[in-house]
A and B are shown apart, each in its own frame.
Chain A
Amino acid sequence: MSRSDLTPLALLPVLMGCAYLAIGNPIAWLTLTIAGVAMGMIIFTIASGMTIVFGLMDVLNFGQGVFITIGAYLSATVFAALSGHLVSPDPGEAGLVILLAIAAAVVGAGLSGLIFERLLVEPVYGDHLMQILVTTGGLIVGEEIIKIIWGVQQVNVTLPPFLSGAVVIADVAIERYRIFAFMVGALVFLSQYLVFTRTKTGLLIRAGVHDREMVEALGYGVRRLFVATFVAGCALAGLGGVMWGLYQQTLVPQIGSQMNVLVFIVIIIGGLGSTGGALLGAILVGVCANYASFIEPKVALFSNIALMTMILLWRPNGLYPASARS
């Protein structure tokens, strides 16, 4: 989170401008932009946890997708159990169901993250090669367990009435759910900002990202700090899973690993370990994906890889690399 370097921020208007020229239709452009920002906020929710985990302990979890899936499926279970309340026209009642689903997803993903950390990540600290291999194995096993619990068939998720449909502002129809997703993402960003600037734990995490040894030398057990951060990261992935499930409205067991690809691109673009970079990267990826799927749907995923390639050409470490380690 560099304070003075604002140039990368210019990428967003540049990308939007280019897309505007390519699309030509202001209303379609605006709709796509809003959808992209909403999608970006969901990606950010997931990416922010992961990037901090990397920054603090040099651990990159290739199995993070599992927690996205767990979050999404847990919320679907809650929705199915309380479907009567979910479809209630009263926003309070349906909103409560959404809150319950989020709580279930966050707790469930966090707890499974704790187990995952103990079993798979802890034994391979400090060895990237082993981490990549073991957490990839964890991804496979996790996905299979999800298939055993929830089945391989597609699960449908319905939005409650108060989140479905669109509001029309000056000829532009904005889907309600996108506004909701944006607000949740903004809330996540804001609370992270407060934690990282106002609480001692947050300061310790930032300090640890820069110099883990010095934090130890000041008398703090970085290991406990890391486990807490890892679990929080998994919980955030679970939250992201709920949001992404509602956005897609259908769930498949691979939803997490598909999303994980986008999250990786975001983390690389933003710079490993940087929350601010992850936010910018997520919005860039979100809008880019939406523009591309409008202009040429077949290469939507490639558009993000192209975006990443161009950014790496410009800044080989990503936009805001936070970790001093190289």
Chain B
Amino acid sequence: MTTLDWARLISKDRPGSRVLAILLIAIVAGLLFAPFALTGAKAISICVKIMIFAVLAASFDLLLGYTGIVSFAHTVFFGIGAYGVGIALTRLGASWTSLAAGILTAILLSILLALVIGLFSLRVRAIFFSMITLALSAAAQTLATQLSGLTGGEDGLVFRLPPGLMPNARLLDSKLLGLTIDGKVLCYYLILAMSVTFVLAMLRIVNSPFGRVLLAIRDNEFRAEAIGYPVFVFRTLSNVAAAVFACTSGVMLSLWLRYAGPDASLSFEIMLDILMIVIIGGVGTIYGSVVGATAFLIAQGYLQDLLKASSAASHILPGIDQVLSPDRWMLWLGLLFILAVYYFPAGLVGVLRRPAGKLNAKGGRPAKDRFIMIYRWMGRAR
């Protein structure tokens, strides 16, 4: 491919920093060769989680970073995707048609639900949206556990994929570079292809005229409305787009796990993971979700082990083992999250993009942002 094609592939939204570009290439290359290089099941599963959460977090970034709204119902769409595949494959049998039917139904349901949510909560004020989506995500969790006939309740659903994707399927007779090419490997690369496609698609969206309008709305709702862009319509459309991508990442989760359950897709912990990834990576950049997902999930995979070890080592002081227990992972995650929001709002991408000379400048927001904040406040007060 020529350089021009590369630029078009990423919608001319260049990483804006050499380090970031190298990092992104390294992540994609790493994911591409991981099945050949890594043997541990845990390491491979972290790789897949990175691909899934990159899409999930990027779709959340469409809302938080590009539309300026916080949705707590993102896990609901993630869950719809996961359960959609799960329910279709359990009910209709493990065939490609039922997989397609499940995915289509899930996407349609997500579009519908996102439209309805937008219709009711984005019409008046953006804060309603956060409150209503929070209520909805709680309701979805109860629903998933209550309707056990359909969803398997607390236990969730374990199901078989179409034969070609099952681990026992042999696609090549001989090994390729020492790797048996079975259904699991195919599934891995299917998820990777989906992940790359969806992230590029989201890059395309935010760099389209539609994306520019979203940014205008995020920065000054009143003015965007005054120029003639119906804020409500654009926000709702953005919510629908985000919902569809979240739904597809749920599909990817189901493909990999061959399982759909409330804790794996609907829990508040997942919501916090998404928030964390977007903040760490850099809000409003899309690339941030890829970098953030990689950093966060690797850290999560191995930090919990570290907590376990230090908890075991700290039996001398009573109480400390409680605080360091791996069960208290959420405590550390929550603290880290608050600190990240305060002191690291630009995220990894923001830090990497900052010109080298300014790296040591005073912390905090640039004056311009602060003024935008003040202006928003005043605008509301009138």
Residues in chain A within 8 A of chain B (CB atoms): 58, 60, 62, 120, 123, 125-130, 132-134, 136-141, 143-145, 147-148, 152, 211-213, 257-258, 260-261, 264-265, 267-268, 272, 298-302, 304-305, 308-309, 312-313, 316-317, 325-326
CB distance from B126 to the nearest CB of A (A): 7
The B119-136 residues at the A interface (CB cut-off 8 A) are 120-121, 123-128, 130-132, 134-136
Q: Do B120 and A141 touch across chains, with their CB atoms under 8 A apart?
A: no
The verdict on B341 contacting chain A, using a C-beta distance below 8 Å, is yes
The verdict on B272 contacting chain A, using a C-beta distance below 8 Å, is yes
Please list the 6 inter-chain residue pairs (A to B) with the smallest Cβ-Cβ separation, ordered nearest first.
A140-B334, A126-B377, A144-B331, A137-B338, A141-B334, A298-B146
B373 proximity list for chain A (CB < 8 A)? 126-127
The verdict on B328 contacting chain A, using a C-beta distance below 8 Å, is yes
Number of B residues contacting the other chain (C-beta, 8 Å)?
Answer: 46
The stretch of B87-95, B137-145, B187-195 that contacts the partner chain: B137-145
A211 proximity list for chain B (CB < 8 A)? 381
Q: Do A268 and B131 touch across chains, with their CB atoms under 8 A apart?
A: yes
With A136-B275, A305-B139, A309-B120: A264-B380 Cβ-Cβ less than 8 Å: no
A116–B112 Cα distance when bound, in Å, is 38
Partner of A298, one of B147, B333, B334: B147
Pairs across A and B, CB under 8 Å, 17 listed: A123-B342, A127-B373, A127-B376, A132-B127, A134-B342, A137-B338, A211-B381, A212-B381, A213-B381, A260-B134, A264-B134, A267-B131, A272-B127, A298-B146, A298-B147, A305-B136, A325-B381
A58–B382 Cα distance when bound, in Å, is 13
Q: Do B333 and A140 touch across chains, with their CB atoms under 8 A apart?
A: yes
Question: Which chain B residue has the least Cβ–Cβ distance from A138?
Answer: B338
CB distance from B66 to the nearest CB of A (A): 12
With A133-B275, A302-B143: A140-B337 Cβ-Cβ less than 8 Å: yes
The verdict on B114 contacting chain A, using a C-beta distance below 8 Å, is no
Q: Do A126 and B323 touch across chains, with their CB atoms under 8 A apart?
A: no
A296–B184 Cα distance when bound, in Å, is 42
A92–B18 Cα distance when bound, in Å, is 74
CB distance from B216 to the nearest CB of A (A): 16
A228–B112 Cα distance when bound, in Å, is 43
